[in-house]
Amino acid sequence: MRFTLRVWRQKDAKSPGQFETYEVDGVPADASFLEMLDILNEKLIKEGKEPVAFDHDCREGICGSCGLFINGRAHGPLPNITTCRLYMRHFKDGDTITIEPFRARPFPVIKDLVVDRSALDRIIQKGGYISVNTGSAPDANSIPIAKAAADRAFDYATCIGCGACVAACKNASAMLFTSAKVAHLALLPQGQPERRERVKRMVAQMDAEGFGHCSNTGACAVECPAKIPLSAIARLQRDFIWANLTPDPYAR
Partner 1 sequence: MAQAASPAVGWLHTSVGRKVVMAATGIFLMTFLVVHLSGNLLLLRGDRGAAFNAYAEFMSTNPFIRVLEVLLFLGFLIHIYQGLYFILKEKQARPQRYTLNAAHANTSLFSRTMRISAVVVLVFLIVHMRHFFVEHRILGTSLTMYESCKIAFENPLYSAFYLFSFLLLGFHLVHGFYSSFQTLGVILNARVERLIRTVGIAFTVFITVGFSAIPIYFLAAKYF
Question: Nearer Cβ to partner 1, position 55 or 239?
Answer: 239
Cβ atoms of 181 and 156 closer than 8 Å: yes
Stretch that binds partner 1, among 28-36, 70-78, 84-92, 113-121 (CB under 8 A): 70-78
59: contact with partner 1 by CB under 8 A: no
Please choose, from the candidates 165, 164, 240, the residue with its C-alpha nearest in 3D space to the C-alpha of residue 203: 240
Cα separation, 65 vs 75, whole angstroms = 11
11: contact with partner 1 by CB under 8 A: no
Q: How many residues bind partner 1 (CB under 8 A)?
A: 48
Cα separation, 42 vs 147, whole angstroms = 50
103: contact with partner 1 by CB under 8 A: yes
215: contact with partner 1 by CB under 8 A: yes
Helix and strand totals (H; E) in the chain: 8, 7
Task: Choose, by CB under 8 A, the member of 149, 213, 227, 248 that binds partner 1.
Answer: 213
- From the CB of 223, what's the least distance to partner 1, in Å? 6
What is residue 187's DSSP assignment?
Answer: T
Task: Tell me the C-alpha to C-alpha distance, in Å, between residue 73 and each of 28, 42, 117, 210.
Answer: 23, 26, 18, 22
- From the CB of 171, what's the least distance to partner 1, in Å? 5
Beta-bridge mates of residue 100: 69
Please choose, from the candidates 202, 196, 138, the residue with its C-alpha nearest in 3D space to the C-alpha of residue 175: 202
Question: Nearer Cβ to partner 1, position 24 or 220?
Answer: 220
Judged by DSSP in three states, 103 sits in: coil
230: contact with partner 1 by CB under 8 A: yes
197: contact with partner 1 by CB under 8 A: no
Task: Choose, by CB under 8 A, the member of 59, 122, 200, 201 that binds partner 1.
Answer: 200
Q: Which positions lie near partner 1, rule CB under 8 A? A: 19, 69, 71-73, 77, 79, 98, 100, 103-106, 168, 170-173, 175, 200, 203-204, 206-207, 210-219, 222-223, 230-231, 233-241, 244
